[in-house]
């Protein structure tokens, strides 16, 4: 591999995600030890598998939701690991990774909570962020149907390290790759990691990323490499 600086693009903590197993701090340390240059914390958002009480006032909900990110960020300098913020929105099982915005933006844009997929893209773009569909062909109990929104995303998660295999084949990821190629979408790879035993997937760059905007710019101009390691390989 030419590009050596690996970033986890899809990561959950137990502070933001009900299905998470470890704190942001534990996730940061584990990924540093596994050789990553950075992680993007993408906990399940309001209509996904959030760990945070949905009856809280919006500002309090957002603040608690961001706890896993803040926890990872707090140790980032000490362990020399880049820690960026994102989220994984949920629309009845269809999920999107959003990059480029932050806690303040969320607090000031409560309309993002109930935005349609179309409105989500408009709002996120207006704030300077991007939307990628996560694992678009995953089939699971919590996903009643596969739905695609090519008009309303900037790109596709073309490899998800936690996608199950069917009859010994990585079919859901194979389909995602075909879909992205047909539409010539920018792509990401991520582990969808929920515990502190890193899988090893991610996106690699030729240098450290200065911030999440630097990450976005590299992603959108395809100046990166997909690192694809499956939990089921
Ligand atoms: Zn999860
Ligand atoms: Zn996820």
pLDDT tens across 123-140, in order?
A: 999 999 999 999 999 999
3-state secondary structure of 9: strand
Question: Which ligand is closest to the CA of 48, given by its number?
Answer: 1
Dihedral over alpha carbons 218, 224, 226, 227 (to 10 degrees): -110
Question: Which ligand is closest to the CA of 95, given by its number?
Answer: 2
**192 CA to centre of ligand 2 in angstroms:** 5
One-character DSSP codes across 32-68: HHTT-SEEEE--B-TTSSBSS-TTS-HHHHHHHHTHH
The domain locations on the chain are 5-227
Token pair recorded at residue 217:
């710019």
Question: Which ligand is closest to the CA of 195, given by its number?
Answer: 1
DSSP type of residue 144: S
Band the pLDDT of 3: cuts 50, 70, 90.
confident
**43 CA to centre of ligand 2 in angstroms:** 7
182 Cβ contact partners less than 8 Å away, ≥ 6 residues apart: none
pTM for this entry: 0.98
135 Cβ contact partners less than 8 Å away, ≥ 6 residues apart: 95, 157, 160, 162, 163, 172, 176, 192
Task: Encode pLDDT of 26-66 as tens digits.
Answer: 999 999 999 999 999 999 999 999 999 999 999 999 999 99
Domain 5-227 bears CATH identifier 3.30.465.10? no
């Amino acid at each position: 591999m030419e590009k050596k600086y690996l970033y986890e693009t899809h990561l959950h903590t137990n502070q933001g995600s009900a299905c998470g197993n470890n704190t942001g701090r534990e996730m940061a340390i584990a990924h540093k030890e596994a050789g990553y240059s950075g992680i993007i914390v993408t906990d399940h958002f309001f209509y996904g598998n959030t760990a945070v009480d949905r009856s809280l006032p919006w500002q309090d909900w957002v603040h608690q939701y961001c706890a896993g990110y803040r926890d990872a960020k707090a140790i980032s300098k000490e362990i020399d690991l880049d820690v960026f913020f994102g989220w994984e929105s949920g629309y009845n099982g269809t999920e999107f990774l959003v990059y480029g915005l932050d806690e303040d933006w969320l607090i000031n844009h409560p309309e993002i909570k109930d935005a349609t997929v179309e409105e989500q893209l408009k709002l996120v773009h207006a704030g300077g962020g991007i939307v990628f569909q996560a694992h678009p062909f995953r089939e699971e109990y919590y996903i009643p149907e596969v739905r695609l929104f090519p008009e309303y995303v900037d790109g596709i998660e073309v490899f998800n390290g936690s996608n199950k295999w069917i009859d010994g084949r990585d079919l859901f990821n194979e389909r995602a790759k075909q879909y992205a190629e047909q539409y010539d979408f920018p792509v990401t790879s991520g582990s969808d990691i929920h515990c502190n035993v890193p899988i090893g997937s991610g996106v690699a760059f030729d240098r450290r990323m200065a911030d999440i905007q630097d990450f976005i710019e590299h992603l959108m101009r395809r100046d990166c490499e997909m690192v694809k390691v499956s939990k089921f390989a």
